[in-house]
Structure 1
Amino acid sequence: MLLEGKTALIVLAHQERTSFNYAMKEVTEKALKKKGWTVLVSDLYEMKFNPVLSRNDITGKAKEPSRFKYGAETLAAWKEGRLAKDIKEEQKKVDRADLIIFQFPLYWFGLPAIMKGWVERVLSMGFAYSFETMYSEGPFKNKKALLSFTTGGPGSMTTPSGLNGDINVILWPMQNGILNFCGFKVLEPQISYAVAHIPDEARVGILQSWEKRLEKIWDETPITFLPIQDFEGMTGGFLLKKEVEETRSDNRYGPTVGQHLGKPLPPDSQLKSENSRL
């Protein structure tokens, strides 16, 4: 089934066109276009995207130049159309996108610096979140997003007994703290393990599997996070409501990696949707 009218944004963070990450980007672009998608690309290294937050991220006069507060100033600038040109251009792409795919190598258990800077500058206060609109009520609650990344080591290293620790814990800050926080429906991550240490045919297999997945990517069930309605408001410290906690008291596992209630973490809750884990 073709999906004319749907738009995807690929945010790529790799400095080499000969890289596996670039190959993944190429496959993504080709496969989605074949299904009728419009595909936008932000190749951050090619763009020489500036990842550094500064006063230059706003134009015009600051509200409080003697005591510059980045969040407040960029919020005001966003409302008044005074954000820097490169930020506004990227925000237009985000606005257009139904699906955002972040393609990158996992560096130091997180996003590459240039991509982290894109997140910090582009997903600015007001545009991507506020205290009134965040998590399940975030501005992007009608959009989907996923992380597609490569690792240096094999998958066994990121298991609960592996040297690097549980991949679910590594994913939580990115998938919950960035994507879910802004309201995105988060799809299962696409993880390409140890691509520098596997034979060519294995890398080809990964690319083919990814291409196959992209055929029905829009129909996938998102990963489950607790809705913001399950928590008290600011006066209650944003804590999980007692009645919600009580309904889960007999569960063996905590509800999420973050709100685990002192129980074992739910297995693969950041890797697969509940339907996939059943």
Structure 2
Amino acid sequence: MAGKTALIVFAHQEQKSFNYAMKEAAQAALRRKGWKVLVSDLYMMKFNSVLSRDDITGSPKEPNKFKYGAETLIAWKEGRLAKDIMEEQKKVEMADLVIFQFPLYWFGMPAIMKGWVERVFSMGFAYSFEAMYSEGPFKNKKALLSFTTGGPESMSSPKGINGDINVNLWPMQNGILNFCGFKVLEPQISYAVAHIPQEARVGILNNWEKRLETIWEEKPIKYVPIQDFEGLSGGFVLKKEVVEARSDDKYGPTLGQNLGKPLPPDSQVKSESTRL
């Protein structure tokens, strides 16, 4: 893994937090294995998470009816995106692996991190109708979510009050990471860290560092490749022959493309190789 670059996108306000400790552990573990590690500490940077006309420099093509996606696409092509966006895009371009480290807020990323995604993963740079999902611009990169939760794992089980964590993960892992082409690795979930003893927290940190020693060799979570779908004219739905080939399967191919069948268990928390 020597010579590879990792980017840690970090969102927590407090340096004494467990999320900060996870970020520090990741930096140390990866550097010991020869990785170059970049960090975007969003709160420390006071990163602007709000989309606006200020995200481009120069005059918009249609000033009277500003369309964010279209204008930022043109600005990206012409090198006219805002300086902070371009700086973060350069980090993503350099990275072989992107780790998102954050506390789970309201079943998702903190607003500052979601804003980073919305501004940095701009049209053209991170996706287009011609290049998305398995053919997305980041198809040679890997990414994973590492986050803490307030409640225990049981709350996010298929019988738990929060519902199946796999359902919670689908919008972030499929709708952001897989959509942009990343090979999505199993998430690193640290449950109820505020309510467990210190030795348990130390154990989580040690296991995280151990995992990162061989992170590049991990198999990604499996998603349906874009080639299995009709194109834009066909509505981007699964091809008839793909559906027919799975007619006898107990589960749908993915949590999202479930074909009205039972959801494949643990499909967003484990790769297919570790579920077997």
Asked whether the two chains share a fold, i.e. TM above 0.5, the reply is yes
Residues 153-196 of structure 1 show CA distances to partners (whole Å, capped at 9, x for unaligned) of 00001111100000000000000000000000000000000000
The equivalent residue for 2:75 is 77
TM-score by length of 2: 1.00
Q: Which whole-Å CA distance do the structure 2 matches of 1:106 and 1:267 have between them?
A: 21
For the residue of structure 2 that corresponds to 1:65, the secondary structure is coil
How large is the Cα RMSD of the aligned pairs?
A: 0.4
Q: Which whole-Å CA distance do the structure 1 matches of 2:126 and 2:110 have between them?
A: 20
The equivalent residue for 1:22 is 20
Deviation at 1:28, TM superposition (A): 0.2
Deviation at 1:218, TM superposition (A): 0.3
Q: Could you tell me which amino acid in structure 2 is paired with residue 92 of structure 1?
A: K
Q: Which whole-Å CA distance do the structure 2 matches of 1:157 and 1:40 have between them?
A: 34
Q: Could you tell me which amino acid in structure 1 is paired with residue 218 of structure 2?
A: E
Q: Could you tell me which amino acid in structure 1 is paired with residue 51 of structure 2?
A: L
The equivalent residue for 2:268 is 270
The equivalent residue for 2:109 is 111
The equivalent residue for 1:199 is 197
For the residue of structure 1 that corresponds to 2:220, the secondary structure is coil
Residues 200-250 of structure 1 show CA distances to partners (whole Å, capped at 9, x for unaligned) of 000000000001000000000000000000000011000100100011010
Q: Could you tell me which amino acid in structure 2 is paired with residue 177 of structure 1?
A: G
The equivalent residue for 2:84 is 86
Equivalences for residues 1-278 of structure 1 within 5 A: 3-278=1-276
Q: Which whole-Å CA distance do the structure 2 matches of 1:211 and 1:36 have between them?
A: 14
Q: Which whole-Å CA distance do the structure 2 matches of 1:239 and 1:126 have between them?
A: 23
Deviation at 1:5, TM superposition (A): 1.4
Residues 14-50 of structure 1 show CA distances to partners (whole Å, capped at 9, x for unaligned) of 0000000000000000000000000000000000000
For the residue of structure 1 that corresponds to 2:173, the secondary structure is helix
Q: Could you tell me which amino acid in structure 2 is paired with residue 11 of structure 1?
A: V
**Structure 1 gap ranges (5+):** none
Alignment size in residue pairs: 276
Q: Which whole-Å CA distance do the structure 2 matches of 1:256 and 1:265 have between them?
A: 7
For the residue of structure 2 that corresponds to 1:59, the secondary structure is coil
Q: Could you tell me which amino acid in structure 2 is paired with residue 251 of structure 1?
A: D
Q: Which whole-Å CA distance do the structure 1 matches of 2:51 and 2:272 have between them?
A: 37
Residues 65-99 of structure 1 show CA distances to partners (whole Å, capped at 9, x for unaligned) of 00000000000000000000000000000000000
For the residue of structure 1 that corresponds to 2:12, the secondary structure is coil
TM-score by length of 1: 0.99
For the residue of structure 2 that corresponds to 1:25, the secondary structure is helix
Q: Could you tell me which amino acid in structure 2 is paired with residue 76 of structure 1?
A: I
For the residue of structure 2 that corresponds to 1:11, the secondary structure is strand
Q: Could you tell me which amino acid in structure 1 is paired with residue 231 of structure 2?
A: G
Q: Could you tell me which amino acid in structure 1 is paired with residue 272 of structure 2?
A: E
Q: Which whole-Å CA distance do the structure 2 matches of 1:5 and 1:72 have between them?
A: 36
Q: Which whole-Å CA distance do the structure 2 matches of 1:56 and 1:149 have between them?
A: 31
Q: Once the two structures are aligned, what percentage of the paired residues are identical?
A: 80
Deviation at 1:4, TM superposition (A): 2.1
Q: Which whole-Å CA distance do the structure 2 matches of 1:86 and 1:115 have between them?
A: 14
Q: Which whole-Å CA distance do the structure 1 matches of 2:11 and 2:179 have between them?
A: 21
Q: Could you tell me which amino acid in structure 1 is paired with residue 163 of structure 2?
A: G
